[in-house]
Amino acid sequence: MVNHGMVLSALGTVTDPELHYDIVTLNMVRNINIQGDAVNVDVALTVQGCPLHQKIERDVEDAVMKLPGVKSVHVNLGVMNDEERRTAFSRAFQQSQKGKAQDGAASPARPTPPGPQSGAWSPLLEETSSTVVLGIASGKGGVGKSTVTANLAVALNRLGFRVGVMDMDIYGYSQGRMLGARQPAQANAEQKIVPWNANGIHVVSMGMFVQENQAIIWRGPMLGKMMQQFFTDVAWPELDYLLIDLPPGTGDVALDVATRLPRASLIIVTTPQLLAREVAMRTADVAHRAQQRILGVVENMSYIPLGGGQRMEVFGAGGGEALSRELEVPLLGQVPLESSVREGGDRGVPVLLSAPESEASEVFLQIAQKIDAAAHA
């Protein structure tokens, strides 16, 4: 007959899709009730309306159903309170630290990071380096992180800075398309990868290594490895700014950036919607846990300019403002929703180059100025 311990160890194989650690470690399993061959499991989600709750529910069912003697599994989903959520994030963070040294079954194996004794992955990351490393994060997908990354890269370059872009969205890489580069990777004489030079921006992306639309199926540990390689195996020139386009979610990569690139600050992109703000808060939570600096918030798709100073607020209003207040960081700017922004991204000519007179271009330039002021404050 199935017992409590068996169920618990089965649940130890279920990972939270966002935090990438098992739900037992994260203290998400609240109660296990076994009645003969029927198992009831109470699971507390990190947030109300967690978009991934169905996956967690299914994974729990699958894991427990595999146990001999189990005929039915019922999952009751609840929600953590603020305190519990903070504990869960801090456990994920602790695990990520521990995971560097060990390959536990419950936590994804991670490559050994460079310790202080082994030096940084790249001169760009050394304590003495003057390169400002900025992660562009959001939590929710599709809010415009990559668009903001590409345009801020061009804007900072316009201000006279040497700018690099690292596309850490391994599955959904888009910087090649957005900045207008598509050649396969080239190596230099030292066998290091030469970044693309797209309109003066130095870019490294998964798009250099795979053919367009080819699916990438690497899992957790590979992601961490990838980031390391994007530093160690790339012939980065000297840079004033390195912008890292992060994948959506508060998971592995955000944690990796937080733990391995302590010099990196974050810029959080949100839309004016309440939900986007809440999800962005979770990303910020991870950053706070890791004591990572958040430079500011960029609100994207804020309004459609109607001319004569009139605006249509398609996605509501106030999300960016509220988020920046909660995080006690500046709202760096509100980027309008303009077709030239999307077209620029699709054509590989960012709006700052294709329509420099547009309102969005102006906003991106102002944001870049504020970033520069904040980064050197």
Ligand X SMILES: Nc1ncnc2c1ncn2[C@@H]1O[C@H](COP(=O)(O)OP(=O)(O)OP(=O)(O)O)[C@@H](O)[C@H]1O
Q: Which residues bind ligand X (CB under 6 A)?
A: 138, 141-147, 169, 172, 174, 248, 300-301, 335, 337-338, 341-342, 345, 360
Q: Which does 345 bind (CB under 5 to 8 A by kind): ligand X, Mg ion, none?
A: ligand X
Query: Which residue lies nearer to Mg ion by CB, 145 or 260?
Result: 145
Query: Which residue lies nearer to Mg ion by CB, 18 or 169?
Result: 169
Q: Which does 64 bind (CB under 5 to 8 A by kind): Mg ion, ligand X, none?
A: none
Binding residues (CB under 5 A) for Mg ion: these are 145-146, 169
Query: Which residue lies nearer to ligand X by CB, 6 or 335?
Result: 335
Query: Which residue lies nearer to Mg ion by CB, 136 or 331?
Result: 136
Q: Least separation, in Å, of the C-beta of 136 and ligand X?
A: 8
Query: Which residue lies nearer to ligand X by CB, 70 or 335?
Result: 335
On whether the CB atoms of residues 361 and 355 are closer than 8 A, the answer is: yes
Q: Least separation, in Å, of the C-beta of 136 and Mg ion?
A: 9
Q: Least separation, in Å, of the C-beta of 38 and Mg ion?
A: 43
Q: Which does 337 bind (CB under 5 to 8 A by kind): Mg ion, ligand X, none?
A: ligand X
Query: Which residue lies nearer to ligand X by CB, 136 or 208?
Result: 136
Q: Least separation, in Å, of the C-beta of 92 and ligand X?
A: 20
Q: Which does 41 bind (CB under 5 to 8 A by kind): Mg ion, ligand X, none?
A: none
Query: Which residue lies nearer to ligand X by CB, 23 or 255?
Result: 255
Q: Least separation, in Å, of the C-beta of 367 and ligand X?
A: 12
Q: Which does 177 bind (CB under 5 to 8 A by kind): Mg ion, ligand X, none?
A: none
Output the 3-class SS for the chain.
Answer: CCCHHHHHHHHCCCECCCCCCECCCCCCEEEEEEECCEEEEEEEECCCCCCCHHHHHHHHHHHHHCCCCCCEEEEEEEECCHHHHHHHHHHHHHHHHHHCCCCCCCCCCCCCCCCHHHCCCCHHHCCCCCCEEEEEECCCCCCCHHHHHHHHHHHHHHCCCCEEEEECCCCCCCHHHHHCCCCCCEECCCCCEECEEECCEEEECHHHCCCCCCCCCCCHHHHHHHHHHHHHCECCCCCCEEEEECCCCCCHHHHHHHHHCCCCEEEEEECCCHHHHHHHHHHHHHHHHCCCCEEEEEEECCCEEEECCEEECCCCCCHHHHHHHHHCCCEEEEECCCHHHHHHHHHCCCHHHHCCCCHHHHHHHHHHHHHHHHHCC
Q: Least separation, in Å, of the C-beta of 346 and ligand X?
A: 6
Q: Least separation, in Å, of the C-beta of 309 and Mg ion?
A: 31
Q: Which does 51 bind (CB under 5 to 8 A by kind): Mg ion, ligand X, none?
A: none
